Homo-oligomer: A and B are copies of this chain.
Amino acid sequence: MTFRTIDWTENKIRLIDQTALPGHSLYLNIETVEDLAEAICSLRVRGAPAIGIAAALGVALAANNHTDEPAEAFISSIRDAMDVLGRTRPTAVNLFWALNRMEQVLNQAAHLSPGEIRERLLQEALDILNEDRLICHQLGVHGAELIPDAANILTHCNAGALATSEYGTALAVIYEAVSQGKEIKVYADETRPLLQGARLTSWELNANGISVTVLCDSAAAFLMQRGEVDCVIVGADRIAANGDVANKVGTYMLSVLAEKHEIPFYVVAPVSSFDLSISSGSEIPIEQRDRSEVAAFMGRITVPEAVPVYNPAFDVTPNHLVTAIVTEKGVLTPPFELSIRKVLLEGGILSDA
């Protein structure tokens, strides 16, 4: 990888500002939880796993910034930070999963000194970061088995190294397939409104020497009709117990189009994306984002001011349109209700009732 998405350096969080890509590779040094919350809300750091890592590092940052306070105020400051970070993005389950891990460490260490608590929290955050790196690599290894040589792969949004610690989720499969010597051509949907595919996916694949072509989201159907797509690979922000997938708006569109054109549709996501508290996709909250994302660009108005905008950040792909879900533990196939439960039981993440 030719860049670092997010890291902990000199008691600060260092991250690449993804709103400046592909024009500028700008690194930010984040020193406060408020600045981190702003960076998450305005998508300077984005992608479910990267948001989880950022939130964990944010808790470590809060502990670091408040170590001199009396124990009670110190712990209260950390809990405040968790609240602030928990309110940044409602859909990505990794955010809550990471904050939950940090809270458990805090609870177990509550009797220790602020300095000791700070060390434990930082270690936990760095563990989350390093575990993510291993997980992404494993996603790539398992997913690459599904990819034939000389495959044309369509992807949406950015489920790449920029969305994680390294490698990515969907793109980890591509990086791994290429490293195995397979000849891969990638088509990247531009992904309106924020153009993560055009700006980020194409930037990171091209930076790593992989052939990539950008197209408008609405051209994907035509590309499939022409026989130019061998499989679709996307990430996931949250997966329900039955395998319904919440991901960037447009993912559901691709799943319907893939079914129509008899193209395999693969979802690549770490086990932490499964949310068994949610039985099906209809229960997943869908974030509606600001009209300005669609209605203006670089200060130019693209929708008349009097006209409302429907701007869901995510959509839900029903399980019957998903060919397989690639996890770090292996490839899951339908019926997903069973295969998801099985992988969580085997991983000790779920205990048998």
The chain A residues found within 8 Å of chain B, CB to CB, are 22-23, 187, 189-193, 195, 198-199, 202-203, 206, 212-223, 225, 249-250, 252-253, 256-257, 259-260, 294-295, 297-304, 306-312, 315-316
Within 8 Å by CB of A218, from B191, B206, B225, lies B191
Contact A299 B301 (CB under 8 A): no
Find the B residue at minimum CB distance from A156.
B218
Query: Which one of B221, B301, B315 contacts A256 once the chains associate, using CB atoms below 8 Å?
Result: B221
List, in ascending order, chain B residues with CB within 8 A of A195's CB: 302
Chain B contacts for A217, CB-based, 8 A:
192, 216-218
> B191, B216, B309, B312: which contacts A214 (Cβ < 8 A)?
B309
Whether A216 lies near B190 (C-beta < 8 A) is no
Report chain B residues within 8 Å CB of A299.
Answer: 298
Instruction: Assess whether B256 is in contact with A214, with CB atoms less than 8 Å apart.
Output: no
Question: Cα distance A132–B302 when bound, in Å?
Answer: 29
B252/A190 in contact, CB under 8 A: no
**Shortest CB distance A196–B (Å):** 11
Task: Give the contacting residue for A249; candidates B191, B192, B199, B218; CB below 8 A.
Answer: B218
Taking a contact as CB atoms under 8 Å apart, the answer to whether B221 and A253 are in contact is yes
Nearest-neighbor residue (CB-CB) of A217 within chain B: B218
22 A-B residue pairings within 8 Å (CB atoms): A22-B301, A22-B304, A23-B301, A189-B218, A198-B295, A199-B302, A206-B306, A215-B294, A216-B250, A216-B311, A217-B218, A218-B218, A219-B312, A220-B253, A221-B256, A222-B253, A222-B315, A225-B316, A256-B256, A257-B257, A260-B260, A298-B299
